[in-house]
Amino acid sequence: MQEPLRSGWLFPDSTVSPITDIQNTNWHAISAMWFHVSSTGTLVLRNAASHGQFHYNATRAQIVRDNSSLALVNVSCANPTYMHAMCYNTTKRPAAINTLIDFVTTNNLDGVDIDFEGFASFGPNMWTGYKVFLTELGNALHNIGKVLYVEVPPIWNNTTTMGTGKEWMERNSQGYYPNFKYESFNTIPVDKVVIMAYDYHYDMTVGTPNQPLEWLRDILKWAKTTITDDTRIVAGLPVAGYGGTTGSYAQTGAGYDWLVKQPGFNLTSRDASSSEIIWQNADKSYALIDQTALEDKIEVCVEEGIGEYMLWHIGGNLYGKDV
């Protein structure tokens, strides 16, 4: 299999350099995080005047357009009640869709990327509204020749399997998301299903990896058993790491450029399970993804026949080798 396509989320903060991070890297898709959903269920544009570095303006939209094969605008929402206020409302839902259609048309973008999270809290009505929104948005985008990407949580089984030697297999991951099923995307007009297969440490405490390689593999294998068209599967890979108090859940995401300056950093501190650089200094632990770690994660995608990966995130990180 040839090298998978490289895509990434453009996290618009002060770490982003248009030259280093965007113009000098070969991007398939860039998902620019320029919209979020308000508490009342309406779309809010993060424009440069009100939000600062690399939030939306026409010039930045052109930079994204010029340096990717697919220029996407991202809509984020971490609160399911906000998402539900938009998706389940027969007035706000079409208004949001019209706003996004107008935005991609005006800015000559290629589509929309939906990043609605808090999946474990999706009740039946939330799940219904979410699917209706994606269906109507996907149809509207396809009608004008545009594409729809959507982010989904990492799921790797629907049972518990004791004694495998893999801690995560002792958990029923589908059970975390009783109303969220990958197989539903077989009948929703979504072009790419992006699996956020990282942040393992949020469950396992500071000092553990962002993404164990075999965990990533098990997630991709599960996706291939539930999503009928493998070409629609995109693997979410981390390039940002984190730092925090060892053994706690008090952690902060951080980029490569910041992490290499932290006390105790040493390239020989490589974790065999993830290929990441993980080290401890006093009561703090850090995890970093360098080129070697990223290439090993991409190799898992190659071995599993996944044709595209998306990196979290563009800005202050390494992105692998150009091919």
Model pLDDT, residue 157? 95
Q: Does 63 map to a domain?
A: yes
Q: Does 265 map to a domain?
A: no
Q: Give the C-alpha separation, 248 to 262, whole Å.
A: 19
Q: Does 282 map to a domain?
A: no
| Of 11 and 66, more confident | 66
The domain containing residue 189 runs over which residues? 5-239+291-314
The angle formed by the CA atoms of residues 61, 44 and 78, to the nearest 5 degrees, is: 105
Model pLDDT, residue 323? 60
Q: Does 275 map to a domain?
A: no
Check which CATH number belongs to the domain holding 56 and give it.
3.20.20.80
Q: What's the predicted TM-score (pTM) here?
A: 0.97
Q: Does 273 map to a domain?
A: no
Q: Does 88 map to a domain?
A: yes
How much of the chain exceeds pLDDT 90, in percent?
90
Asked whether residue 162 carries a pLDDT value surpassing 80, the answer given is: no
List Cβ neighbours of 239 (8 Å cut-off, separation of 6 or more).
8, 255, 256, 289, 294, 311, 312, 313, 317, 318, 319
List Cβ neighbours of 59 (8 Å cut-off, separation of 6 or more).
none
At 98, the amino acid letter reads N
Buried (b) or exposed (e) across 77-101, using 16+ Cβ within 10 A? Answer: bebbebbbbbbbbeebbeebbeebb
3-state secondary structure of 278: strand
31-38 average pLDDT score? 97
Question: 33 near 11, Cβ under 8 Å?
Answer: yes
Q: Does 267 map to a domain?
A: no
| Of 312 and 170, more confident | 312
* Residue 164 confidence class, pLDDT cut points 50, 70, 90: confident
Count the domains in the chain. Answer: 1
What is the DSSP code (8-state) at residue 2?
A: P
Model pLDDT, residue 322? 76
Backbone Cα Rg of the chain: 19
* Residue 321 confidence class, pLDDT cut points 50, 70, 90: confident
Q: Give the C-alpha separation, 197 to 185, whole Å.
A: 17
pLDDT digits (tens, 9 = 90+) for 184-210: 999 999 999 999 999 999 999 999 999
pLDDT digits (tens, 9 = 90+) for 37-87: 999 999 999 988 777 789 999 999 999 999 999 999 999 999 999 999 999
2-7 average pLDDT score? 93
Q: Does 212 map to a domain?
A: yes
